[in-house]
Homo-oligomer: A and B are copies of this chain.
Amino acid sequence: MDSIKIFAPATVANVSCGFDALGLAINAVGDEMIFTKTETKGVSISKIEGAELTFDSHKNAASVVAWAMLDKIKPDFGVTIALYKKVKPGSGLGSSASSSAGAAFAMNKLLGNPFSNLELTEFARLGEKAACGSPIADNVAAAIYGGFILVKSYDPLEIVKLPVPEELWVTVIHPQIEIKTEDARNVLQPTVTVANAVKQSANLAGLISGLYTDNYKLISRSLEDVIAEPYRKKLIPHFDDIKNDGLKAGALGVGISGSGPTLFALSKGEKIAKNVAESMRTIYSKTTIDFNIYVSKVNLNGCEIIE
């Protein structure tokens, strides 16, 4: 195998009650990337379409991951990467994670599959660190494992792949406004009351139980975030309208994807997910803000080879 084209799914992190612990991959959008072996050792970037990102292979998220994996295995070849960015940077849909996870996945294939998914997640975190300053694992793990994942712990890194109920659909709306990651972080409080910590914890426990038992009502009642949403929602125009109308349209829950500005909804079945999309479209159509909407099944397999 000298060249492969791969798909790396976009991801929704946090998922309301799972602040900094849950991630979810979606089918409807993801980066495409071509990795080609070269005689010249090391990593180069031949093309970047769809976003303004650095060609410096020691700074770009995808190539940073590729470098780390080549340094570990030291094969007798190098790699050049063509990036077709479909997940917009700054969207809150795990743009850098898609590139980082895709790079880890593709490099593993070119190297003959020496690494486990957990090890690939560790490599992909280096891309997150290069892109965002912080080696967070929720988006990259979701993109690599697929489905719903729990970041059980960081030290040591432990990822738990959770079951996904058959009829679970995701609706996302990406309003094209900029929220600086720094602002999204700074707006949070450094502490929470024990009562709210317990509430968040019990909701996450309820969501996990709902996923294991296909209990959509329990999932719905658990999709509540008392840690980040009350503060971050102020950064996103029309958040309350989107949430209220989404729930009226039948969504199980509506919340902020990662640190925003993308909002996500979970629904039981495609029909409701599309109704939720329409309710979101109606609200943002009345504004001057450009937006994209995706309706998607949960991506179950993570990154995959497409050519």
Q: Which residue of B lies closest to A193 (CB)?
A: B191
Say whether, besides A160-B209, A191-B194, A192-B197, A152 and B227 are in contact (CB < 8 Å): no
Q: Is A48 an interface residue (CB 8 A)?
A: no
Query: In angstroms, how far is the closest chain B Cβ from the Cβ of A28?
Result: 26
On chain B, the residues within 8 Å of A283 by CB distance are none
Stretch at the interface among A38-46, A72-80, A111-119, A198-206: A198-206
How often does this chain occur in the complex, in copies? 2
Q: Which residue of B lies closest to A163 (CB)?
A: B212
Say whether, besides A194-B192, A212-B212, A152 and B205 are in contact (CB < 8 Å): yes
List residues of A (148-200) whose CB comes within 8 Å of B's CBs: 150-153, 158, 160, 162, 188-194, 196-200
Query: In angstroms, how far is the closest chain B Cβ from the Cβ of A119?
Result: 18
Among the listed B19, B152, B162, B193, which residue makes an inter-chain contact with A190, where contact means beta carbons less than 8 Å apart? B193
Q: Which residue of B lies closest to A202 (CB)?
A: B21
B162 touching A202 by the CB < 8 A rule? no
CA distance A234 to B21 in the complex (A): 30
Q: Is A221 an interface residue (CB 8 A)?
A: yes
Q: Is A222 an interface residue (CB 8 A)?
A: yes
B20 touching A203 by the CB < 8 A rule? no
Among the listed B152, B196, B206, B227, which residue makes an inter-chain contact with A202, where contact means beta carbons less than 8 Å apart? B152
Q: Is A236 an interface residue (CB 8 A)?
A: no
Query: In angstroms, how far is the closest chain B Cβ from the Cβ of A136?
Result: 11
CA distance A160 to B209 in the complex (A): 8
CA distance A303 to B188 in the complex (A): 44
Q: Is A208 an interface residue (CB 8 A)?
A: yes
Chain A contact residues, CB within 8 Å of chain B:
18-22, 150-153, 158, 160, 162, 188-194, 196-206, 208-209, 212, 218, 221-222, 227
Q: 9 tightest CB-CB pairs across the interface, nearest first?
A: A197-B197, A191-B191, A212-B212, A152-B206, A201-B201, A21-B202, A20-B198, A208-B208, A201-B204
Sample of 5 more A-B contacts, CB < 8 Å, known A192-B194, A201-B204: A19-B194, A150-B202, A153-B203, A160-B205, A191-B192
